[in-house]
Amino acid sequence: MTKGLALARLFYEAGHDVIGADFAPHGIPACGRYSRSLKRFYTLPKPTEEEGPTYYISALLQAVKKENVDLWVSCSGVASAVEDGQAKEVIERRSNCRAIQFDVATTGMLHEKDTFIEETQRLGLPVPETHNVTTRDAVHKVLHGTKKKQYIMKSVGVDDVVRGDLTLLPRRTLSETYNHVSRIPISNSKPWVLQRFIMGKEYLTHALIVEGRVKMFVACPSKDVLLHYVALPPESALNRAMLAFTKEFVARYGRSMTGHLSFDFLIDESVTEKGAELKLNPIECNPRCHTAVALFAGQGQEVADAYLSLLKSSMMNGNGHPPDEEIIVPRQPAKYYWIGHDVVMLLLFPILNVLRGQIRLVDWMRGCSEFMAHLLFWKDGTFEIWDPLPWWCLYHIYWPGQFLASIVYKRKWSRMNVSTTKMFVC
């Protein structure tokens, strides 16, 4: 994944020995294993529903002990965040290694949409109107009890099949609403949330939290599948507001938090007598490293020092608390894209739509212009001139292997995220 590769390069630039570890789905090697930034690489067994995370944690612990690792930085995907919380507790209990990872309880609470909203509300922070539902009757009760409100249903757990369904409810007619809700796999074992629809721009944040203090922070515009990263100016009002929310959440949580913390916000903008008023609505939390960490490229020493501060007890002041430090933000960050995504979405798909008569040729030319702007003035999220192999392997080994595996195992997919190497099954 881009985030792991980006962090490995930052630690390498700061002069540290970096040991990499990742899964190899269907035997297809992760592109990051070929990076010059890695001293060694370990292939880990992926947790399964049948065997759980036992073999994964055991292999990770074995690698930590063998390499005498001082700091483990978790870069888990959406499906293995809780398992990494378990791994953190085992590693810190059975070795001298420290972990940048929340514990199981904190990870589980932040990872699930319903418990995150409940905890945020308990902390006295603003949240959008949200209802936990486990039956279709409960869904209809909420929908019929409101006027002029619209909602989006989200699965509490990880479900690629329904993740992209952002249908607004209720539908235009009662019949359409009932038909849509009847197709949703909802039960006590598969709970959902009904969250009020907010017509506003979406943003994400990424923060490094070390012992209850925000060490790094970045915010940028977001979308459902994000492949273009542009950091907000640190001095902007919106960036400062989201940083303040992050700091307040960590402070009110009341436990010593150490890990990566990313929020998704919808911004509700309203006009008052005093002018435009912006309201932050936290809709989800990702208790794991985010791809946005790539925006810190070129700041290896600062970033490494922020992570390694977990190991330095000398950072404590006389009161037993770390002194106030300036939060690290991206300095003149590049704008990031992934060429594989842009070739398909800006060149290939549009030209097919031109041939089908669905769009005009001038629309395709606009896509070509945007592609050239990215190619000339933006930065690819995987490519580095001094470390080109991960980029080459991503497009010549990893993705061809994944497409072949999908054919062999008859696995249908609807879309893919080049930056996280994730295919959304359907």
Q: What is the value of pTM for the model shown?
A: 0.92
**CA atoms of 41 and 19, how far apart (whole Å):** 6
**Looking at this protein, which amino acid is placed at residue 61?**
L
Residue 8, pLDDT score: 98
Torsion angle defined by CA atoms of residues 20, 24, 206 and 67, in that order, rounded to the nearest 10 degrees: -20
Residue 272, pLDDT score: 67
Residue 162, pLDDT score: 67
Residue 51, pLDDT score: 83
54-66 helix and 81-94 helix, angle to the nearest 10 degrees: 40
Structure tokens at 206: 């990424």
pLDDT block averages, 10 residues each, the chain of length 426:
95 97 93 96 90 92 97 87 94 97 94 94 95 94 85 82 79 92 91 91 96 96 91 95 96 90 90 75 94 96 96 55 77 95 96 94 95 97 97 96 94 90 85
Residue 317, pLDDT score: 46
Q: Of how many residues is the chain composed?
A: 426
Residue 322, pLDDT score: 53
Beta bridge partners of 347: none
Residue 275, pLDDT score: 66
**Strand bridging mode 192-196 / 151-155:** antiparallel
**CA atoms of 355 and 419, how far apart (whole Å):** 29
**CA atoms of 154 and 126, how far apart (whole Å):** 19
Our measurement of the distance from residue 191's CA atom to the centroid of its chain's CA atoms, rounded to an integer in Å, reads: 22
**Looking at this protein, which amino acid is placed at residue 134?**
T
